[in-house]
């Protein structure tokens, strides 16, 4: 169905890294330095939710040096990770000047997702529709995480994997790359989930469409600077959302 014989051409200047931010000013300079060290041609879109710590000022400062590569969308308040990504993806799909973005990559602002792993991701994008940075395949893992956090994450992925029957190992992870044709096929307006559930939902919707996935091992290091915005509410949302998502399969078939 979605089998393509020729490898995809992954031009780095058509890659857009989408980064949702909420109070991440301290992390912006290093993040951008690391991204552009991988390639000078990459593009970044920040979706900021009215951060109060000067995040936007930081972004704008770097934007003056790379006006065609660094983009910023601003929302009036903290509206959640899921809708921030949806807004970013929709913006990305609409852009045509100077060229269309062909690959969208999800990445946190806090350096937990090391741009170092982008190289492996780009390689696998040549032959897969979607590439997931995965903590739970050989070579992947987490660093500086407490036992409880490790347990919640590992259990969360296994729980969703079993309930949804998904053959993917890191379902809650948020370091993922999508060819534009995948995002075009997902009805982004129908995606309702927020935090971890959002990551599960996106993968599930793409999987149900028959797209080919690859998981590349990543080491997720907990943030050194700034504070986490995740809460118990987001974990609970993921637990019940998975059951709602199960119904999608029947819905998409009919
Ligand atoms: N725009 C936006 N970004 C958010 C929101 N919540 C979290 N983020 C960003 O999403 C990324 C992941 O959040 P983080 O707090 O590090 O989650 P954790 O790694 O699971 O603790 C970071 O870049 C945050 O700044 C939100 O409501 N709106
Ligand atoms: Mg984080």
pLDDT digits (tens, 9 = 90+) for 110-138: 999 999 999 999 999 999 999 999 999 99
Strand partners, 217: 134
More confident residue, 154 or 107: 107
Q: Is the pLDDT of residue 182 over 90?
A: yes
Asked if residue 6 is part of any domain, the answer here is no
Asked if residue 201 is part of any domain, the answer here is yes
Q: What's the whole-number mean pLDDT along residues 196-220?
A: 95
Please give the tally of structural domains in the chain.
1
Residues in the 5 Å CB sphere of ion ligand 2: 108, 110, 112, 223
CA 253 – ligand 2 centroid, Å:
36
Mutate to test the pocket of ligand 1, among 229, 231, 234, 237 (most ligand atoms within 8 A of CB): 229
CA 83 – ligand 1 centroid, Å:
12
What range does the domain containing 236 cover? Answer: 12-253
Of all protein residues, the one whose alpha carbon is nearest to atom 21 of ligand 1 is 228
Q: What is the pLDDT of residue 249?
A: 79
Place of tokens 């350096």: 111
Asked if residue 102 is part of any domain, the answer here is yes
Is 24's C-beta closer than 6 angstroms to any atom of ligand 1?
Answer: yes
Is 106's C-beta closer than 6 angstroms to any atom of ligand 1?
Answer: no
CATH number at residue 164: 3.90.550.10
Q: What is the pLDDT of residue 38?
A: 98
Is 20's C-beta closer than 6 angstroms to any atom of ligand 1?
Answer: yes
Q: What is the pLDDT of residue 4?
A: 53
Asked if residue 200 is part of any domain, the answer here is yes
More confident residue, 215 or 152: 215
pTM tops 0.75 = yes
Closest ligand to residue 153's CA? 1
Helix, strand or coil for residue 18? strand
CA 225 – ligand 2 centroid, Å:
10
Q: Is the pLDDT of residue 44 over 80?
A: yes
Q: Give the whole-angstrom CA distance, residue 156 versus residue 251.
A: 24
Q: Is the pLDDT of residue 194 over 90?
A: no
Asked if residue 5 is part of any domain, the answer here is no
More confident residue, 241 or 97: 241
Residues for the chain: how many in total?
254
Spell out the residues 6+ positions from residue 239 whose beta carbon is closer than 8 angstroms to its own.
156, 159
Asked if residue 3 is part of any domain, the answer here is no
Closest ligand to residue 173's CA? 1
Calculated CA dihedral for residues 72, 73, 78, 83, nearest 10 degrees: -120
CA 231 – ligand 1 centroid, Å:
10
Asked if residue 62 is part of any domain, the answer here is yes
Q: What's the whole-number mean pLDDT along residues 240-246?
A: 90
Q: What is the pLDDT of residue 224?
A: 84
Mean pLDDT of the chain: 93
Asked if residue 18 is part of any domain, the answer here is yes
Q: What is the pLDDT of residue 111?
A: 96
């Amino acid at each position: 169905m979605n089998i393509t014989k020729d490898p995809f051409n992954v031009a780095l200047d058509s890659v857009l890294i989408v980064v949702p931010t909420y109070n991440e000013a301290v992390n912006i300079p290093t993040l951008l330095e690391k991204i552009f060290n991988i390639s000078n041609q990459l593009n970044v879109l920040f979706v900021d939710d009215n951060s109060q710590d000067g995040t936007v000022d930081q972004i704008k400062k770097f934007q003056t040096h790379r006006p065609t590569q660094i983009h910023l969308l601003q929302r009036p308040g903290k509206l959640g990770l899921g809708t921030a990504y949806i807004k970013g993806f929709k913006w990305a799909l609409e852009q045509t000047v100077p060229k269309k973005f062909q690959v969208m990559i999800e990445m946190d602002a806090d350096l937990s997702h090391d741009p170092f792993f982008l190289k492996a991701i780009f390689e696998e994008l040549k032959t897969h529709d979607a590439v997931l940075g995965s903590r739970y395949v050989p070579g992947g893992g987490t660093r500086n995480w407490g036992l409880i956090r490790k347990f919640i994450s590992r259990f969360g992925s296994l729980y969703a994997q079993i309930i949804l029957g998904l053959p993917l190992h890191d379902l809650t992870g948020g370091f993922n790359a999508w060819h534009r044709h995948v995002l075009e096929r997902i009805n982004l307006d129908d995606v309702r989930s927020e935090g971890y559930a959002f990551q599960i939902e996106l993968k599930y919707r793409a999987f149900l469409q028959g797209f080919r996935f690859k998981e590349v091992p990543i080491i997720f290091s907990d943030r050194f600077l700034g504070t986490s915005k995740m809460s118990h509410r987001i974990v609970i949302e993921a637990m019940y959302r998975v059951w709602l998502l199960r119904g999608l399969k029947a819905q998409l078939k009919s």
